[in-house]
Structure 1
């Protein structure tokens, strides 16, 4: 930032950066869209009218021409009674994908009425467009249409009778990314304008003094106006009621916008005197392997998240293989270039490539779908990478490069690995975990940069969370009733809460480690912001068990990492706690506002299959209705939070009467407003068939039946624990679900200790508990020895405590669970306890 450049060069650099961003947005991101319109008929033709009301409807069948329909312009006659009508679209399976209530613009009659569709479609698939009155009567018009001229048109039906050779007079507007010609034209235009601007800058500064300025000044000159303009635009939109018409909502939105602008202005303009640049050419050159390893760790963690969100066994198979590919690459990142570029490696890769291709072709079948092809392809890649790693590992071991291990701890873990393989009871993930992490630990022991590993793990976790949250801000709306407890990138709150528990640990270690060195705001504002954002998403889950796990773990981290001794240490703990709380207070409204409003503006939501089945508010899923009551609101959030966390009856803070109104308008669909599906609701014992939970019971008049309040704070876990304990044995079970008292099969034990003992037998459960206790002890010893030389030496201890506490109430120990994956990663340095040199 302190590097000096000529002013003209700075301006030209900004032009180049903006040009690159615009070109990337055209391709490959393909953000910009174009509208393709297909017109059927016109007012100039002779038309036939059909009267449509509540009893009589018209249905037009079409084949989708593109993958997204924006709008439908339907031509109506002049004879109209009423104020609105309905347009519905059903897919080939007669499932409704769109329902739009259209206000009639009488001034435009006879003429086209715009119907906002905004739904994704399957190209060439059949769809049914139904027009029906709403206590109204309208005239829709049709014209003769030849199928040879418009092959996408199907039959037209009126009152269940086919109108042969006729079709509705309508314009179908499809939205799609710019096509090749559009991309070429726009790209060429952008490049030409950029070239002209670059030339203009050169001409201007040919006849005037070209002053030297710092990169920091150029950065501030560009970013300050952008932030100011963004703040002003957000405030104007809020005051105009773009997002809400409630005073409470808009008050919080305004406060959040001001908080965010202060953070951004501070981040741009704070003094950087004495701060050395982090990213330099020398750093990138010397740490390329570390950055690559962080990216691979992030990729593997993302695959773990994909596994946890998988609805079927095939989804899990794909995600597991993605995880292992990224994991293998993270191990290879520790290899030196001299270990990679060897003749025998080249020979192996050629032979393995030929063998892998032969295997792929031999097992590929014509009826294999995309997911199964991915499984086959990824399996081949894993085998090739595994062989590459094994060759290097064996050779390095023979060369005696392995550092002195922590014998007793290594032996204990090897015993555990052996036991979960011997008593695997049909499970193969235990074999994969033992083999994969044994290779990681061995290669770490032969790595010359061991002190960098925990930093790479932490950066990988941070990177994955940032990317996942960016995706949520674009595609995962925060809706008010059926998803009041926000699920982030997952489909259940339980998975979200356990994932965020791990990220919360990472954020706490990142911040508290920084606080041992400085409390200057300019040095810690990024870490404070990150902790506040992660904590905000954790609060959105309203998961009591997760709050308990996070609270216990953060308290442990506060005590462990605080600097000083005696009273000074206690004072530092208090100050650190105050900063943590302050970061949450500031970032909670900011995060809420961003997550509430940005997906509403983008209007490209992604829902899992389960979520489509559980709720599908039309104005959230289609159209840009940012002020819809179906998006989360402050009053609703407070009401649900107080009910879930403090047990205050729902409706106490329903200041706008939202619950009563929702019950009135949705009484036949919903009885429990806060329902969020859990894993047990969604899966049977084997987890491969999709089940849907009931939305509630209705009385004979169609009104919701009052459900007795469940005061079991453990959500039934005590009964599950009792069943698992009663059914423990010495050798384990093939199925992970125990038989409950009511005869049903539990999905899992909601406890890692019971689950391991149930899956593999009581002796293995005892060894697992011993491994956990030993890991905590060794991680504390490691922190005591390495805290002055290893930046994030506290990470193994903090993650271990988090998994130990969260594992009491949730099943989180699995190769493809983010919690289990991160735990097995961060304990890597514990196997080699030699003192690291300070670097």
Structure 2
């Protein structure tokens, strides 16, 4: 039966999509687990030295003298292994009602010279709940050498602590040595702690874990195949009843969850806030439940039409897998671009550029079937390149940045070598079989291509230290050698768009876990980025992709929610996130992109005006109703998970920033009145503080008084909320700066533009930024067109403008001539528009900036597509 089930899983054309999804889920989980074992190294051998004096499950037995900021207990230890992973220090902590659970204590580890080699903050709330402090040094140590550790209580910590000791003999550990209590030597007692030592897996250990994971995945897959096989044989006749029962159960779960959230957040008001917040929460719960119920019941009322296929089951399964891999590759690529933009060190620019190239090569490889790139030459290349990579990386010290960079460089060589090898092989086979017939490009294509050649030559000639110009051209030239047909081009664009949307899902997941929306300082929600401008640029790209996919799928159909519910949801959610950023660049880009996409779709698909206005009205209403859902999700989920991450470039003040241990109803979280107050008066002086804000001022102990300013202070502190007190010596200057900022809607960009216009020349410049007489660099131009002209000369700037204009025109012609057949082509137009709008106020022409990457990826498609006037596409 197992053999029949396995054959059924890959040969049943009727259920091939379902079977492929099961395969994808199992293989993806197994792959993630394999990567965690190696090369990530998340799985290690652990050896724990446990204390034996107390039963840790009975915390009431742990008693000791009160431990305050004036007390000192310094424990000398001799570690028995070479790598200390964590230390668990048992103690008692209680947090009074008037104190905050987010108050923290310090754990410090010193070497024998009393140099601090590790420091970690732990919040009092966790210590109170657990009964111990867990620090994770994860550092190499030398056995039989003296180390010291201690716990320090800061002056402003409100927790009450007891740090007990125990007899060293009762503890039964070799690590413990002298304990210094307020400078007094104690050789008979020690602090109560467990020591966790870690050691990397050996090669045999890695292989053993790999074998276990693969065996488990195989067993799970066989079991799933058998279950699906039996279901198809015996239960197919009851399929409608089973699906209906599952939908009813899912609906009941949604209703129960909605009721619980309604009571928890609205009735009990556990998240705090006023009437407006609770109203938002109620609307969000209702809208979220409606979206879920729509997803559950839509296909019961409107089944998806079954489309026939001429592919065999095996080829269909292969196509599904390649689409999945290509989509995931683009999704991870855009996530790497987000990390590049968000990097605060040059090293992360290097690493994420390499990740981008690796995922791009993987995506390009998926344009070939497995029969084309799984061959002897590919196997030989992989073997030779892996051996060479191992030999190359051995010259770098393990665990260093140089080693990681070397590994990624080798991965780039391996992946792109495999791609180029298979491109050459495919071309050779095609020429031998007579599959390739040279077709003379149209005149417009030749002009377009020549302009890019001239522009690339100018970039190379004036590159100076700008190495990224090669990354902006050479990888994308590869697309001219891939065999694109109209159908494969459509598939490529669909997977590319889905990859952008997948990256948005990954970004949203990270934000839900680690990035709360702050009341002060960071009231403009930056999400995964530390700069709101970067957030707006990325979200504009996501919005353009979602809107393009929505109207490309919708075409001339009238029922938007029935035909494209997922795309509608993504457009609405992305619009909500853009609204949270308060980024005017993102607002403008999203609004203009949506308007132009709707207009182009109306012309290309010959829609009646009534349908167009109906679509606009429905989409606007859904976006409006979905905003409370986005706001409430960003408010609630990070507060419940309580694992906030603050970047080094951001504020670290505990009085304003959310820290682990802060209650879910903390006044540090954004509120609805505060959001709309800052949205409509972000650069205006507020003479009167609202009652809610006044109450919060009193709750903060009067640290901030009576008068508040919302001040734009320039690029370095963009979006920072500055609160000042009356009588501050710098108040007049800040008010002058504020009034000056209010008079300039561009936030100083017009002045920057004029500075760069004056500095333009026919030759390029070595630096990307202006340099003043003192040698200090100016900010960048905040305009892609000016920046290109400044970097590479005015001739390059003019050519770039012409290229942008031609790109826009070609994308419109592509939709007008091919949109009826391939609606996804409207995504090309949407992304070109997004890039053009963003480039007016930001620097976007770069292969590792999402908007710039999209623009560059669209160029080979637009150049290589033959679009005769009024005719269908030819290649």
TM-score category (smaller protein): 0.7 to 0.9
Whether the 8 Å contact between 1:457 and 1:825 is mirrored in structure 2 is no
Which residue number in structure 2 is paired with residue 534 of structure 1? 574
Q: Does 1:235 align with 2:262?
A: yes
Note the C-alpha offset of 1:542.
0.7
- Determine the C-alpha separation between the residues in 1 that align with 2:695 and 2:415: 53
Whether the 8 Å contact between 1:91 and 1:97 is mirrored in structure 2 is yes
- TM-score, normalization by structure 2: 0.76
Which residue number in structure 2 is paired with residue 594 of structure 1? 633
Matches within 5 A, 1:58-457: 74-75=91-92, 88-92=105-109, 93=116, 97-98=120-121, 100=123, 121-122=137-138, 128-131=150-153, 141-145=164-168, 149-150=172-173, 156-159=179-182, 166-168=189-191, 212-214=238-240, 216-238=243-265, 239-244=267-272, 246-270=274-298, 271-273=301-303, 275-276=305-306, 283-337=316-370, 339-341=372-374, 344-361=377-394, 369-382=402-415, 384-385=417-418, 387-388=420-421, 391-392=424-425, 395=428, 400=436, 404-405=440-441, 406-445=445-484, 449-457=488-496
Select 1:554's aligned residue among 594, 613, 623.
Answer: 594
Cα-to-partner distance string for 1:593-638 (whole Å, 9 max, x where unaligned): 1122112222333443333x54556994323732222232223222
- Determine the C-alpha separation between the residues in 1 that align with 2:268 and 2:713: 33
Note the C-alpha offset of 1:809.
0.5
Change (3 A) 1:56 1:273: closer
Cα-to-partner distance string for 1:543-598 (whole Å, 9 max, x where unaligned): 112212222222222221125899x7443332232123112111111111112211
Change (3 A) 1:192 1:805: closer
Change (3 A) 1:59 1:575: farther
- Determine the C-alpha separation between the residues in 2 that align with 1:797 and 1:718: 28
SS at match of 1:792: helix
SS at match of 2:165: strand
Q: Does 1:605 align with 2:638?
A: no
Cα-to-partner distance string for 1:676-729 (whole Å, 9 max, x where unaligned): 995x569xxxxxxxxx99988889999999832232322221222222222222
Which residue number in structure 1 is paired with residue 7 of structure 2? none
Note the C-alpha offset of 1:642.
2.2
Which residue number in structure 2 is paired with residue 643 of structure 1? 681
Select 1:626's aligned residue among 659, 664, 673.
Answer: 664
Change (3 A) 1:131 1:310: closer
SS at match of 1:578: helix
Note the C-alpha offset of 1:485.
1.5
Cα-to-partner distance string for 1:179-208 (whole Å, 9 max, x where unaligned): 99xxx99xx99x9999999999999xx9x9
Whether the 8 Å contact between 1:47 and 1:143 is mirrored in structure 2 is no
- Determine the C-alpha separation between the residues in 2 that align with 1:55 and 1:66: 29
- Determine the C-alpha separation between the residues in 2 that align with 1:68 and 1:572: 63
Cα-to-partner distance string for 1:516-557 (whole Å, 9 max, x where unaligned): 332323223222211110111111111112212222222222
- Determine the C-alpha separation between the residues in 2 that align with 1:788 and 1:730: 44
Change (3 A) 1:451 1:618: closer
- Determine the C-alpha separation between the residues in 2 that align with 1:809 and 1:401: 45
- Determine the C-alpha separation between the residues in 2 that align with 1:119 and 1:130: 13
Q: Does 1:657 align with 2:683?
A: no
- Determine the C-alpha separation between the residues in 2 that align with 1:570 and 1:443: 40
- Determine the C-alpha separation between the residues in 2 that align with 1:157 and 1:25: 49
Select 1:777's aligned residue among 802, 809, 813.
Answer: 809
SS at match of 1:596: helix
SS at match of 1:212: helix
Note the C-alpha offset of 1:253.
1.3
- Determine the C-alpha separation between the residues in 2 that align with 1:61 and 1:87: 23
Cα-to-partner distance string for 1:486-515 (whole Å, 9 max, x where unaligned): 222222111111011111111111222344
Whether the 8 Å contact between 1:508 and 1:531 is mirrored in structure 2 is yes
- Determine the C-alpha separation between the residues in 1 that align with 2:415 and 2:590: 35
Whether the 8 Å contact between 2:781 and 2:843 is mirrored in structure 1 is yes
SS at match of 1:89: strand
Q: Does 1:739 align with 2:771?
A: yes
Q: Which has the higher helix share?
A: 2
- Determine the C-alpha separation between the residues in 2 that align with 1:232 and 1:366: 50
Whether the 8 Å contact between 1:640 and 1:650 is mirrored in structure 2 is no
Note the C-alpha offset of 1:375.
3.8
Which residue number in structure 2 is paired with residue 459 of structure 1? 498
Whether the 8 Å contact between 1:156 and 1:163 is mirrored in structure 2 is yes
Select 1:479's aligned residue among 505, 509, 518.
Answer: 518
SS at match of 1:98: strand
SS at match of 2:620: helix
Note the C-alpha offset of 1:289.
3.2
Select 2:833's aligned residue among 795, 801, 820.
Answer: 801
Whether the 8 Å contact between 2:520 and 2:668 is mirrored in structure 1 is yes
Cα-to-partner distance string for 1:705-763 (whole Å, 9 max, x where unaligned): 98322323222212222222222222211211113599741241111011111111111
Which residue number in structure 2 is paired with residue 685 of structure 1? none
- Determine the C-alpha separation between the residues in 2 that align with 1:334 and 1:197: 30
Whether the 8 Å contact between 2:762 and 2:795 is mirrored in structure 1 is yes
Whether the 8 Å contact between 1:473 and 1:598 is mirrored in structure 2 is yes
SS at match of 2:288: helix
Which residue number in structure 2 is paired with residue 108 of structure 1? none
Mean Cα displacement is larger for which, 248-257 or 602-611?
Answer: 602-611
Mean Cα displacement is larger for which, 376-385 or 823-832?
Answer: 376-385
Select 2:847's aligned residue among 815, 827, 833.
Answer: 815
- Determine the C-alpha separation between the residues in 2 that align with 1:259 and 1:694: 31
Matches within 5 A, 1:744-759: 744-759=776-791
Change (3 A) 1:797 1:376: closer
Change (3 A) 1:249 1:141: same
Note the C-alpha offset of 1:288.
3.8
Note the C-alpha offset of 1:268.
0.6
SS at match of 1:594: helix
Note the C-alpha offset of 1:367.
6.2
Note the C-alpha offset of 1:74.
2.5
Note the C-alpha offset of 1:172.
9.8
Mean Cα displacement is larger for which, 801-810 or 232-241?
Answer: 232-241
Mean Cα displacement is larger for which, 659-668 or 466-475?
Answer: 659-668
User: Where do 5+ consecutive residues of structure 1 fail to align?
Assistant: 1-8, 105-111, 683-691
> How many corresponding residue pairs?
795
SS at match of 1:774: helix
- Determine the C-alpha separation between the residues in 2 that align with 1:173 and 1:671: 50
SS at match of 1:813: coil
- Determine the C-alpha separation between the residues in 2 that align with 1:681 and 1:74: 41
Whether the 8 Å contact between 1:309 and 1:490 is mirrored in structure 2 is yes
Change (3 A) 1:127 1:826: farther
Change (3 A) 1:141 1:320: closer
- Determine the C-alpha separation between the residues in 1 that align with 2:497 and 2:386: 33
